[in-house]
Structure 1
């Protein structure tokens, strides 16, 4: 029995040696590479939607920096003695085998079930300043930098934050834990290692303190560089307002300063979708965004998935919630959920969790646009499409219709408005290449005959306007006619007439009836009859009668 007790103590002592140098580590970033959004050969509506939405969606990073302190565990000698005696008695009675493997399994099982029984906080402390970074998705709603994301992307509850700080130490802790056991000569199965690692992690989390916490939020703005591809620039973001994590109103409003002409995403309405509608989830799922082997350039490009709305439900608090089968995963949180026309009907915030603790595929929840609008109204913010987005959307339409000559100046306008645009440069290059290869299908300019027709119509309109102007002038002069002078009246056609009684000008004076029988017939004049002229001194008169009227009385009918 003493020999068995000594073996138990030896094995437990080896467990303790693995804890003394444990450190907390942050996960390393991986690189990514993905294709350009302009590489699609046969564009679909979803392809065009994706290309238009990419620039307005940004990676959001929240960094928690704190001092983590934990008291180094020591063996609870009294508990060890009790365990050793119990195992020895069980071995003598035949309840357990006396092999090293059997005794090791009994020890592991006892520690895993109650780590706090066999380890106590020691006098020595371990302290380290450590940082954790969580990522999510956000989207720009105004040209000057207001953004929407999920509240839980920018705020982690204290209890969860403690667990996260403990989890980040898992890899380092596990390595040192296994090394300590190996130095003791103990052979453990992989299952035993995993179980012990989980148990000690729980003990550390329970005895860990997190102090001097500092939280910083940033938007990793996508940038494009001529000839160098795409990258990101970290810009500090202010949390203007935030709701409560789901099932609360899990929405946050951010503001990044010093921005102008940022690409934007439109905010839609709840009733833009209903069960059966197709929606598109845009964001930065961590598994693919930071997948090993992909380029840095690919981290700039969001991922787009689509699926139907399966239900519109409500929380216990009465808030509507949209449920969708569009695939999503950690990192998509906070991203926009778009309709086919590119407006966002809400923010992706959560997935359904099964009884096994695993997220259920195709059961994702969206906080609707009405909650976003309520928050914007409280803070006096109005969503606005940027000039950059207006020009870029037109350019994308032209590009995917293979109107490359029409697309180039629009993309160039985008670069003038927002020189750091991450995608415009690639589209310009692709468009010019297509033009050089003879693939441009931009419609020819309209015929010059059309321009001539427009000119003739304009000239005709000018004549009408000038005619109307003369009529107005005539009416204005009417007011200055001297007393007794003839005033114009209106003819049957509605135009002013200088003749009393209205109608057309009077005919020439009739011949004497006797003369009419003797005189040869007079042919009708080949030129139009003379038109009367107004003179302020003379009134209305016919210019052709000036000669007969000279030196005598005015012709009959003239003043």
Structure 2
């Protein structure tokens, strides 16, 4: 019974609004970034000037055939010729470009303990060699092709439009991928977790710390779970992990994460990237993976960058790990509304193997209790609990905002327990104490009358 009352007090045994769930859980959500770096050697490609000049001359002769072409149309003819037959116009040389390159893989995750244990998908941190090589090729060839296009502009004595540069860039990328060769040396991998903290001014500041892999599974169709550890942290914002093995079809789910279309949006300020996005939906079905373990189907929107996001129930507890979506058979694009999460029962297999026990930090317990009081309208009591959380972790996200909001609502008389109400309760408490003392005194007097010898 006591445990039940404590659960109610901390807000985990009752349904809460999506707004309250975001306020309580978003501070414990972080962005995972894996950085692959290495030295790349790319063989230089040499253009066959004779054949290229013949191509240009043939395009120039088109003007004498009676059909007039614009410069853009002539460029299109040249680009398509280079694109369709790269080996005719380019050959690989024995010389190499040497470049330092870095590629990034990012996703989402969340803290489960105050001392820095963090859950995410393993496919964010363990990319296969084919993916790494492909990304290095794209990154390296982009730099090389940009240099070639600038050289071409100088030789043609013209400035290309963005569209023309794009066409040439695509052409050169194909040329280099087919003609050139690439060697990668000194490949290194670093994993970082980024999360937000409150600054002294009350706004958000991004903190980025290295993380180590404690235990991980395999990317889908394997058990796509990874447990990371960040050192030298304490009283981190944490999310409560559900202990209920039952996930009910039709129940509400909330997903907190960093979808790539948002974090890479050119119209959004970069400092807002660290604020997680919330998407909502319902549990559509409980399916079984080809590996034989359960997965949660949901219609909450997830996309690239959402991998590793916590999927929470209506009580704010984590019930799953957003992991993969579905593809449209005709287009190959992501199908909206048919997404899947790995349930916490699978996540706990990895935690148990590493003897890690999810546990709310004391700062999060105080903060979540304050959030519950705040959304119930008890701003004075909420403020005191927010201040308790601040003593444990002064940089806890959103603390400054909610303390200021609590003060504002107290001043405007919105608190359910106004000063007069508190005064009445205190007076009643004093009267009850005095009454108790009086009753006890009278009882002692009566007792002495009955036993005068004593």
What residue number does 1:436 align with? 411
* Pair 1:140-2:115 in alignment: no
> Residue 275 of structure 1 aligns to a residue in which SS?
coil
Q: Where do 1:446-461 residues align within 5 Å?
A: 446=425, 448-449=427-428, 452-453=431-432
Match of 1:279 in 2: 253
Deviation at 1:366, TM superposition (A): 1.2
Distance 1:357 1:177 in 2: 33
- The verdict on how the C-alpha distance between 1:440 and 1:70 changes in structure 2, with shifts beyond 3 A counting, is same
Could you say which residue in structure 1 is the equivalent of 2:315? 341
When residues 316 and 442 of structure 1 are mapped into structure 2, their CA distance, relative to the original with a 3 A threshold, is same
2:86 matches 1:112: no
Residue 422 (structure 1) shift: 1.8
1:128 corresponds to which residue?
99
| 2:302 maps to which of 315, 323, 328 | 328
Residue 310 of structure 1 is matched in structure 2 by 284
1:453 positional shift: 4.2
Residue of structure 1 aligned with 2:203, choices 215, 223, 229 = 229
1:360 equivalenced with 2:335 (yes/no): yes
Residues 366-385 of structure 1 correspond to what in structure 2 (within 5 A)?
Answer: 366-385=341-360
Counterpart residue number, 1:550: none
1:411 deviates by 0.5
Q: CA deviation at 1:113?
A: 3.9
- 2:376 counterpart residue number: 401
1:494 is aligned to none
Rounded to whole Å, the distance in 1 between the matches of 2:105 and 2:168 is 27
1:45 to 7, 12, 17: 17
SS at match of 1:389: helix
* Separation in structure 2 between the aligned mates of residue 393 and residue 243 of structure 1, nearest angstrom: 31
3-state SS, counterpart of residue 66 of structure 1: strand
| 1:521-541 residue CA offsets vs partner (Å, 9 max, x unmatched) | xxxxxx98x99x8xxxxxxxx
**Residue aligned with 1:130, SS:** strand
* 1:391 matches 2:366: yes
8 Å contact 2:213–2:226 — kept in the other structure? yes
Deviation per residue, 1:283-311 (Å, 9 max, x gap): 11233234335445423321111012222
Between the aligned partners of 1:375 and 1:417, the Cα distance in structure 2 is 29
Tell me: CA distance 1:197–1:300, structure 2 relative to 1, closer, same or farther (3 Å).
closer
Q: Distance in 2 between matches of 1:363 and 1:199?
A: 36
Q: Unpaired segments of 5 or more residues in structure 2?
A: 1-15, 444-448
Q: Is the 8 A contact 2:213 2:228 kept in 1?
A: yes
* 8 A Cα contact 1:280 1:339, kept in partner: yes
Alignment partners' CA distance in 1, 2:442 and 2:353: 57
Deviation per CA, 1:222-280: give whole Å up to 9, x if none: 21112251112221110111111122211110001112111111222574433322211
1:254 aligns with 2:228: yes
CA deviation map 1:319-378 (0-9, x unaligned): 222222211222211110111111111111222223433222222221221220000111
1:208 equivalenced with 2:179 (yes/no): no
SS of 2:218's partner is: coil
Shift of 1:383: 0.6
Which residue of the partner structure matches residue 554 of structure 1? none
- 2:83–2:174 contact (8 Å) kept in structure 1: no
Alignment partner for residue 412 of structure 1, among 387, 391, 394? 387
- In structure 2, the partner of 1:512 is none
Deviations 1:455-512 (A, max 9, x none): 7669989999xxxxxxxxxxxxxxxxxxxxxxxxxxxxxxxxxxxxxxxxxxxxxxxx
Q: TM-score, normalised by structure 1?
A: 0.66
Aligned to 1:151: 122
Q: How far is the alpha carbon of 1:173 from its aligned partner? A: 4.9
TM-score by length of 2: 0.80
CA distance in structure 2 between the partners assigned to 1:279 and 1:258 by the alignment: 33
Report Cα offsets for 1:131-154 as digits up to 9, x if no partner: 223321110001111110111111
2:197 counterpart SS class:
strand
2:194 is the counterpart of 1:220: yes
Aligned equivalents of 2:369 and 2:69: distance in 1? 77
2-structure distance, mates of 1:70, 1:270:
54
Could you say if the C-alpha distance between residues 321 and 115 of structure 1 is closer, same or farther in structure 2, counting changes exceeding 3 Å?
farther
